[in-house]
Amino acid sequence: MSFSRRAILLATIVILGGITILFIAAPDARQRLTAEDGIVEWISAAVFLGAGIVGVAAVRRWRPLPAWTWLLPAAGFIGFGEEIAYGARLVHFPLPRIDGEEIDGLHDVFDLAERTITALGFERLQVAAAGAVVVVAVLLVAHRTGRLQHLRSFFEARPALGWVTAAVTCSVIAAVFDLVGRSTPARLVEEQLEIVSAVILLIGALQIPAWAPAREPIGVERAAP
């Protein structure tokens, strides 16, 4: 593992641990930690933005690279936009509302889906349990039929997609915590998972040079013999 990856992982552990300790030890700070546009949300926004910037710089420096590599920095910028409501709240731009719910990003799709499901008479925990059972069943079938190996080979040939998929999966789990928990501790777990999602993209962006053909990066001249 490279020094940069170790440093990022260590910093992530320290930040998540510090946030958890502060949440437990200082009840008065809980609302500020988990609020919209709060401390934790701005940390994840900064890491998402860093992943986007590092990704763009790496793709430009080490091009040509496969087109799918651009998905990684794009995911970083989308994550940043989601965390800050695409700047709408910063400039006090009125956001659309559905049934009184402010729509400020893609994660609100989960809120709308949850409202639809509960309106049909289902409980959130029941739906979450059913979803977990379906996911496990699909994974077991894929394993028995050998499709998991094909999926692994697919991502090994397209590593940027693997990093993006891992980050998106983490964000989806975060959204589930938000919907099922509906409590301050669940909100904290959601925000921490968003940080993890951003860190996954940042580490993936640092791997981009390893996916380039073996050659000198653009802008670096060979020394004269």
C-alpha closest to that of 206 among 41, 73, 68, 83 = 73
What phi, psi does 223 have (nearest 5°)?
A: -70, 145
C-alpha closest to that of 33 among 184, 196, 218 = 184
What phi, psi does 97 have (nearest 5°)?
A: -130, 145
The H or E element spanning position 63 is none
The DSSP symbol for 98 reads E
- Rounded to 5°, the CA angle 110-159-52 comes to 60
Tokens in use for 215? 């050659």
Pairwise CA distance, residues 219 & 27, whole Å = 52
Domain ranges of the chain: 3-211
- pTM assigned to the model: 0.80
Q: Tell me the one-letter amino acid at 74.
A: A
Q: Tell me the one-letter amino acid at 63.
A: R
- Residue by residue, pLDDT tens for the chain (225 residues) are 576 788 888 999 999 999 999 889 888 888 888 777 778 888 999 999 999 999 999 999 988 888 899 999 999 999 998 888 777 767 777 766 666 666 666 666 666 776 777 677 776 666 667 777 888 888 788 878 888 788 888 888 889 999 999 999 998 888 877 776 667 787 888 889 999 999 999 999 999 998 887 655 555 555 555
C-alpha distances (whole Å) from 144 to each of 51, 138, 149, 156 are 36, 10, 10, 20
